[in-house]
Structure 1
Amino acid sequence: MKFKTIKSFLGTILLTLSMVGCTTILDEQPRSIYEPGFFKTEKGVMGGLTSMYAHLRWLYGDGYLYSAWETGTDEATWAQSADGNFKDMDMSGVGSISVTTHPTGIVWNTVFSNINTANGVIENASEVGLSPALIAEAQFFRAFDYFLLVQTYGGVPLDLGSGELKFNTSPVRVSVRNTVPEVYTKAIFPDLKAAAANLPDAGRVTGSATKTLARLYLAKAYLTYGWWLENPKNIPTYPETARTDPDGHNAQWYFQQAYDIAVQGIENPGPFRLQPTFYDLHVGSNDRNNEMLLYADHTETSELYNGGSLTYGGGGPPDNWVVWMMTWNYTNIRSSTSNTSWNAVSSVQRAATQDKGRPWTRMAPPIEVFTNTFADKTNDARYDGTFVTVYRSNWDLANDKTPTYYNANFLPVQPGSPILTFLNEEPATAIDYSNATYKSNVGAGVLPGRADFVISPKGISRLRHPGLWKMGTYRTDNDGGLGQPNAGLTRPYYVAKFSELYFIAAEAAVKGATVKAGKSARELINVIRARAGKWRFSNAENSAKTVDNSASMTAATPANIDINYILAERSREYFAEGYRWFDLIRTQKWGEVAAKYTIGGPNLTDHTPQTFNRDIQPFHYLRPIPRGQIDGMEMTPEEKNAYQNPGYQ
């Protein structure tokens, strides 16, 4: 397969998008340029269609875009090694979002070329005899990208230079932003309805778009637009327009549509199902399971098809490297070669395994994640299935044959032993942190009789915190060693899951949709919570665990759930997966839910939580248009100023 650069013409300015990889499923053959003649052949149209799947890698897996979707919410703040890409997003005074903030501009700078490709495919599909099902794939991705845009920036241009939703081949330097209702009713809804009608129940190849996927996004778009019409907290929109629907429907009509479509997806799932346990959903050996509706794919078998190096990742797309951001530098943990005096040795080393991987220490979960969001760590398997709470020794994987080293209290540890544990609760006996600096090098403490160093929830800091197991590295080519922990992840990045249909329907029900028997908001949420109560493996204990706490989980669900409960439940289900900012701006709860947080400082000796307040203003609910976009347009200063979202001029 010969590789060249793909160039697509954006509507407002000419940008270049390099598709430097292929999926293992779709036969992608990049072209030097997309021109009108290219889309006049079936091969050309299919090539453009295939590139739409590859474009997901330029969004999902990018650690900086991940920061835009997580940092500044109740799920994440900046960590010890953070730069402005993370501090600017935190809203706590350590930085500020501006027109040059890189993470907030990634969506804008990435998706228009794919939208234009979709325009070309759709415009020429009938001429080359493309089936309605294949056209529907392009319609899905055009709607998918516009949905990302409208949630992020408000109204965006539908005309890229040759007319609304038309394929553009000439660079133009003027642009007009459509309003939010126009983007939804002219682009997103029609495309998603066509996709839901014409896509197959089962994908034409593994990982391709399906009817269930289209229904999920149609329901979510209806739900989001319903909130936008209702506007309960008077959040401003831009371009300014009345909160009225061109088709004459009110918010309640859209909530009902969201409920009905989501339930239709649940009742007609095709090949998709909930996995039996939360562990099964996320364990690397079960990737691409039938709960996954869409993912940005990667592979460990070929750099060509992976889209990036299999041995080293530089921290940029199209690699998947998001989990590095919330991976702290656990490699500073030390044990001792002696049981009488401290002679430090590295006992927990960087490895290409799901519990370790490459540390960047850019993002950290606040303490409330562990004390509030995941308060139930006994019945609910999602805490154990989300976090690495026990860091185990692995010196044997580095070809160190020493059978025993010594750890806290100079007690012996072997390969696979717990070296450092994040405790579930504050212990009855006070942790001794006084000698932790020279013992563990990460500021951990000691409890009597325990060989592992310990950190309680109050000791979580910007330097050290539980890692993300569910999104961690997984490879099968480690050959008994440490593997390639510095490479981008070869796992797929999950974009959409079947489980979200339950949450969308439940949220619409809370917003007043008329429900079907057996599918009230509480009943829908309890399907997810019942699954969350089922264990088959404990990561903390590193052993099989067959326990069913479903009855306890469902009994604990409030009789009448509200939006706050749904948001908390969504955080437990999708923690740190890139959903959170969208959830909070959709429901207009960002300024309330993420207003303040507590966490320890960035130093080894920081064991006392500090409280931080965030200044989230109404205009922050939209991100700024990147300055490079506006600078490149041939418009008057007044027109350029008017193009930018208010608050960022």
Structure 2
Amino acid sequence: MKNIISILGLLTMILTSCSDFLEEENKSSVTAEDFYITAEGFESLVNANYSQLREIYGGEAYIFCSGTDLYAEGRNAEPPGLSQYTQLTASSEGIAELYNSCYEAIQVANMALHYGELTEKTSTLDQRLAEIRYLRANAYFLLVQTYGGVSLVTEYISNPKLAFDRSSAEEVYDFIISELEEALKGVGAGTYDGRVTKRAVEHLLAKVHLTRGYEPFGASNDFSAAATYADNAIAGQGLTIPFLELWVPGNEMNSEVIFSVQFDQASISADPYNLGNMQAGYFSSYQGGSESAGDAPYRTYTLCPTQFAISLFDEGDERWEGTFMTTVYERYYDFYDVEDHGSLTVTEYYGPKWASTLEDQAAYEAAHPEATFHPYGIYVPSVSRNFDYETIPVRKFDDPNALFGEGRVSSRDIILSRLADTYLIAAEAYLQSGDPATGLLRLNEVRNRAGVAEATLAEFDIDYILDERGRELLGEYHRWFDLKRTGKLVERASAHHYLIEESNFVGANGEMKILRPIPQEALDLNQNRDFPQNPAYQ
């Protein structure tokens, strides 16, 4: 399925109001109407839908991760509106990207569903249409969580449309769930190969019901439905792969992955600085100049793990070594390229909290006189972190095959749904549905794999679940949504992000900046002047 990304005759820009539409580059004098009603043409259109995932997730990670309790800027500045909320406006940097890319994906999906009624009938047609419904629902889920109610555009726009109404968040959630329920009837039930499967739909249904359950319009059975869908997606599969192996470069299609954005070297080779993804470039300090190309990854020095993120890990937790590059060698990538690490020279070491005394430091420095020892509590982002290696590197997304430099250079897949996340969704859903005992069992499956003591019922609450999600999913694109969903965004971001105070969230007329603003460019392009902005930005 790695080649699903190839696209025939793709897109010009789709305006953020959806008023633009697809224009195909016609290289063979065959019209879109003629091409997409063939089996080959329609399959290319399906592939274009999967490719849109790259545009949603492949760029900057700020919309998913900034302004939370786990990540903050180090030397380099993040978009101030998204990361600190004080300068968050409808025109802020980074606000429009997700809005634009999701509506582009929705338009491509609408186009596929339109031609799905006209194209040649094949044995896979119904399955492909179900996959498209999942992808469209996923785009709307991102939109409704981020911006609240948005325009529900469900028909293919083949001629310019300039005015759009705003649907309520409740209406958008109803549409998402109905789409996913319809998709569930048609997608494949086999092993994940890059296409949407039944488990992927059930996982997303679980998260959608879980998220809607917190809303004032949530259904009374949302949490129980989320628990059921999560258990269906788990399907009795245990967490058997050691955490360190989950993140070995090249192992992105392991048996615990439920859905991901597909990349590979071949598909980005034509423009390797723009066709890959940027996930590997975040979550660490910068590690040298251009002379380190091939020796170390490029890092933005943004979205660095906060002290709170570091403090979540206890001794014996396999996720500590599986998440962080605690020992850096003279050549960073020798961690992957050299089997015998004992023969390597250590240049940087980040001490854990369970070895944080002066005696621990002295002992390590005596054994490794060439290494710089970074004591626990020091290697986190702050106004004084201005040198290379001053914050601990996250290694989960390292790509030794990536070119050195800023840009979309990584060809590793971006994992959107994996089994441990499903277990944690189930844990939260059972807790909120009034069955904490079962929820605790689901959470402890995750802790057992990590090699740490099981949680007890006395400590099992939403904060414990958020902490566990922080340990298990650090760097994956969930955190802002997790905090927003559970109503913990203001509390946790202001408590653990060194640049955020609770007052930063106060917007117009005392409204809280929980939702992001509808992008100003979308409002400007929309000829419906009654389209409302979110209250905190009016």
TM category (shorter chain) comes to: 0.7 to 0.9
Flag the 1:35–1:263 CA change in 2: closer, same or farther, 3 A: same
Q: Which amino acid aligns with 1:631?
A: D
Q: 1:48 to 1:393 in 2, by over 3 A?
A: same
Q: Does 2:162 match 1:202?
A: no
Q: Aligned pair 1:309/2:271, yes or no?
A: yes
Separation in 2, partners of 1:32, 1:139: 30
Is the radius of gyration larger for structure 1 or structure 2?
1
CA spacing shift, 1:597–1:559, aligned 2, 3 Å: closer
1:2 to partner: Cα distance: 9.0
Q: What is the aligned partner in structure 2 of residue 331 from structure 1?
A: 288
Residues 89 and 97 of structure 1 are in contact (CA less than 8 Å); yes or no, is this contact kept in structure 2?
A: yes
2:232 to 264, 268, 271: 264
**How far 1:60 moved relative to its partner?**
1.6
Aligned position for 1:424: 352
Letter matched to residue 117 of structure 1 = V
Q: Secondary structure at the match of 2:258?
A: strand
Task: Answer 1 or 2: which has greater strand percent.
Answer: 1
- Within the alignment, does 1:453 sit opposite 2:372 as a pair? yes
In structure 2, the CA distance between the partners of 1:473 and 1:360, relative to structure 1 (3 Å rule), is same
For structure 2, which runs of at least 5 residues remain unmatched after alignment? Answer: 1-5, 335-340
**One-letter identity of the residue aligned with 2:264:** T
**Structure 2 Cα separation of the partners of residues 277 and 414 of structure 1:** 22
Q: Deviations over 1:439-492 (max 9, x none)?
A: xxxxxxx955641211112212433211111111133xxxxxxx8333711211
Which of 428, 438, 453 matches 1:507? 428
Aligned equivalents of 1:174, 1:358: Cα separation in 2: 43
CA distance in 2, matches of 1:168, 1:299: 32
Q: Which of 218, 234, 237 pairs up with 2:205?
A: 218
Shift of 1:362: 2.3
Looking at structure 1, the residues matched to 459 and 144 of structure 2 have their Cα atoms a distance apart, in angstroms, of 32
| 2:147 counterpart residue number | 153
| 1:61 to partner: Cα distance | 2.6
Hey, what's the Cα distance between the residues in 1 that align with 2:490 and 2:219?
22
Task: Output the CA distance in 2 between the equivalents of 1:527 and 1:327.
Answer: 29
Checking the alignment, whether the CA contact within 8 Å between 2:7 and 2:44 is kept in structure 1 is no
- Residue by residue over 1:135-186, the C-alpha shift from the partner in whole angstroms, topping out at 9 and shown as x without a partner, is 1111111111111111111111113xxxxx211111211110111111121x
| Whole-angstrom distance in 2 between the partners of 1:217 and 1:505 | 12
Contact residue 45 and residue 125 of structure 1 kept, 8 A: yes
Q: Determine which structure has the larger helix proportion and give its number.
A: 2
**In the alignment, does 2:239 pair up with 1:274?**
yes
Q: Deviations over 1:557-576 (max 9, x none)?
A: 44551111111101111012
In the TM superposition, what is the alpha-carbon distance from 1:49 to its structure 2 partner? 1.1
Contact in 1 for aligned 2:54/2:277 (Cα 8 Å): yes
Query: Are 1:626 and 2:524 an aligned pair?
Result: no
Structure 1 residues 513 and 431: alpha-carbon distance in aligned structure 2, compared to 1, 3 A threshold? closer
TM-superposed deviation, 1:616: 2.6
- Mapped partners of 1:564, 1:179: distance in 2: 29
Q: CA RMSD in A?
A: 3.4
Q: CA offsets, 1:230-251, max 9 Å, x none?
A: xxxxxxxxxxxxx3xxxxxx64
2:30, 2:470 → 1: CA distance? 42
Given the superposition, is the C-alpha separation of residues 5 and 201 from structure 1 closer, same or farther in structure 2, using an over 3 Å criterion? closer
Equivalent pair of 1:522/1:560 in contact (CA under 8 Å):
no
CA contact (8 A) 2:333 2:400 kept: no
Q: Is the 8 A contact 2:282 2:299 kept in 1?
A: yes
Q: CA deviation at 1:527?
A: 0.9
Aligned equivalent of 1:441: none
For 2:321, what is the secondary structure of its paired residue? coil
**Deviation string, structure 1 residues 329-365 (Cα, Å, up to 9, x no partner):** 2327xxxxxxxxxxxxx9xx73557xx4112212322
CA distance in 2, matches of 1:289, 1:112: 31
Counterpart of 1:647, as a letter, is A
Paired residue for 1:594?
493
* Structural mapping, 1:166-185, within 5 Å: 166-185=155-174
More contact order relative to length (CA 8 Å, sep ≥ 6): 2
Seen in structure 2, the aligned counterparts of structure 1 residues 181 and 212 have a Cα distance that, compared at 3 Å, is: same
Indicate the percent of aligned positions where both proteins have the same amino acid.
24
**How far off its partner does 1:50 sit?**
0.9
Compared CA separation, residues 471 and 30, structure 1 to 2 (3 A): farther
The 1:530/1:255 distance shift into structure 2, 3 A limit, reads same
Query: 2:3 — aligned with what?
Result: none
From 343, 350, 356, give the equivalent of 2:292: 350
1:321 is aligned to 278
Q: How many residues align?
A: 508
Q: State the Cα deviation string for residues 33-64 of structure 1 (Å, max 9, x = none).
A: 9955554333333222111111111122312x
User: SS state of the match for residue 328, structure 2?
Assistant: strand
| Residues 1:189 and 1:308: Cα distance change in structure 2 (over 3 Å) | farther
Tell me the amino acid that sits aligned with residue 211 of structure 1.
K
SS in structure 2 of the partner of residue 553 of structure 1: coil
Q: Does the CA contact (< 8 Å) of 2:14 and 2:22 recur in 1?
A: no
Name which of structure 1's ranges 45-54 and 581-590 shifts more when overlaid on structure 2: 45-54
SS of equivalent residue, structure 1 residue 319: coil
User: 1:17 Cα shift?
Assistant: 8.1
Amino acid at match of 1:217: L
Tell me, in whole angstroms, the C-alpha distance in 1 between the residues paired with 2:333 and 2:252.
Answer: 27
1:576 aligned residue (468, 472, 475): 475
8 Å CA contact 1:293–1:498 kept in 2: the answer is: yes
Aligned equivalents of 2:30, 2:520: Cα separation in 1: 26
Contact conserved, 1:72 with 1:89, CA < 8 A, in 2?
A: yes
Aligned counterparts of 1:450 and 1:19: Cα–Cα separation in 2: 60
Distance 1:563 1:43, change over 3 A: same
Match of 1:88 in 2: 81
Q: Which amino acid aligns with 2:288?
A: T
| CA separation of 1:414 and 1:563: change in aligned 2, threshold 3 A | closer
Mapped partners of 1:33, 1:624: distance in 2: 42
Give the alignment partner of residue 317 of structure 2, picking from 380, 393, 396: 380
* Aligned pairs (5 A) from 1:61-80: 61-63=58-60, 66-80=61-75
Distance 1:294 1:627 in 2: 32
Q: Distance in 1 between matches of 2:24 and 2:496?
A: 40
Q: Is the counterpart of residue 363 in structure 1 residue 350 in structure 2?
A: no
Using the alignment, how far apart are the partners of 1:202 and 1:289 within structure 2?
14
Instruction: Report the secondary structure of 1:216's partner residue.
Output: helix
- What letter is aligned with 2:184? A
**1:473 alignment partner in structure 2:** 399
Deviations 1:580-621 (A, max 9, x none): 00000111111112212366xxxxxxxxxxx86342345322
Tell me if the contact between 1:62 and 1:320 (Cα under 8 Å) persists in the aligned partners.
Answer: yes
Aligned partner (choices 532, 540, 543) of residue 450 of structure 2: 532
Q: Please say if residues 282 and 303 of structure 2, whose CA atoms lie closer than 8 Å, have aligned partners that are also in contact.
A: yes
Is the Cα–Cα contact under 8 Å of residues 30 and 47 in structure 1 kept in the other structure? Answer: no
Render the CA deviation track for 1:277-302: whole Å, top value 9, x for unaligned. 111111114222121122222212x2
Q: Give the whole-Å Cα distance in 2 for the aligned partners of 1:268 and 1:432.
A: 45
Task: Give the direction of change, closer, same or farther, for the CA distance of 1:635–1:573 in structure 2 (3 Å limit).
Answer: same
Kept in 2: contact 1:11–1:172 (CA 8 A): no
Cα deviations by residue, 1:221-276 (Å, 9 ceiling, x for unpaired): 111111113xxxxxxxxxxxxx3xxxxxx64311111111111222266xxx6352
Please report the TM-score for the alignment, with normalisation by the length of structure 1. Answer: 0.71
Q: Which runs of 5+ in 1 are unaligned?
A: 21-28, 160-164, 230-242, 244-249, 333-345, 398-412, 434-445, 476-482, 534-551, 600-610
Structure 1 residue 390: deviation in Å? 1.4
